[in-house]
């Protein structure tokens, strides 16, 4: 199977907006984390699909950091882009920005890194197009994602070795 042609992160980037409504908030008037997480997964999945032109599944959420609360009535801007591609998996970064609808003041509220796997018609992992970062920001995100992928593999290896020792 030949590998598909490389794409830049900008070719598959996704941006969307939501408005926090009362039913999406807790008793403190701030957005439920689960609502934000669902939106993150959705927008990241769209970016991964756009990148590979295939069905994708979420394989994991590497990091999710809630930095600032998002209140009822705030606008929520989600930006997702593919940062790194290995064989069939892709790391997608998502930045969630809280925007005041009256002043247009923006604050980064949440960020996340998710891993998706490209699937073929039989729902088996398949080759994803390589990523070709072009801008300085894309190159920085690629380098950082590469470090996260390495760290994740090392951690999983340590855990696996420790679990095999526990079984003895």
- Model-level pTM? 0.90
User: Does residue 1 sit within a domain?
Assistant: no
Pairing of strands 89-99, 106-119: antiparallel
CATH of the domain at 16: 3.10.129.10
Query: Which domain covers residue 22, as residue numbers?
Result: 9-166
By the 10 Å C-beta count (0-12 exposed, 13-18 middle, 19+ buried), 115 is classed as buried
User: Does residue 4 sit within a domain?
Assistant: no
> Helix/strand/coil (H, E, C) string of 49-78?
HHHHCCEEEEEEEEEEEECCCCECCCEEEE
89's CB contacts (< 8 A; 6+ apart) are 59, 115, 116, 117, 118, 125, 128
User: 71-123 pLDDT, tens per residue?
Assistant: 999 999 999 999 999 999 999 999 999 999 999 999 999 999 999 999 999 99
When divided into structural domains, the chain yields a total of: 1
């Amino acid at each position: 199977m030949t590998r598909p042609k490389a794409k830049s992160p900008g070719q598959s980037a996704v941006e969307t907006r939501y408005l926090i409504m009362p039913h999406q908030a807790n008793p403190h008037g701030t957005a439920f984390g689960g609502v934000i997480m669902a939106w993150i997964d959705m927008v990241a999945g769209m970016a991964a699909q756009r990148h590979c032109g295939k069905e994708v599944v979420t394989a994991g959420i590497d990091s999710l950091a809630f930095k600032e609360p998002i209140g009822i009535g705030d606008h929520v801007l989600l930006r997702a882009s593919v940062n790194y591609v290995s064989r069939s998996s892709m790391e997608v970064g998502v930045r969630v920005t809280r925007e005041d609808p009256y002043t247009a003041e923006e604050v980064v509220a949440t960020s996340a890194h998710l891993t998706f796997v490209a699937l073929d018609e039989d729902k088996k992992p398949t080759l994803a197009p390589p990523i070709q970062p072009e801008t300085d920001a894309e190159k920085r995100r690629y380098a950082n994602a590469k470090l996260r992928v390495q760290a994740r593999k090392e951690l999983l290896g340590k855990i696996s070795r420790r679990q095999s020792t526990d079984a003895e």
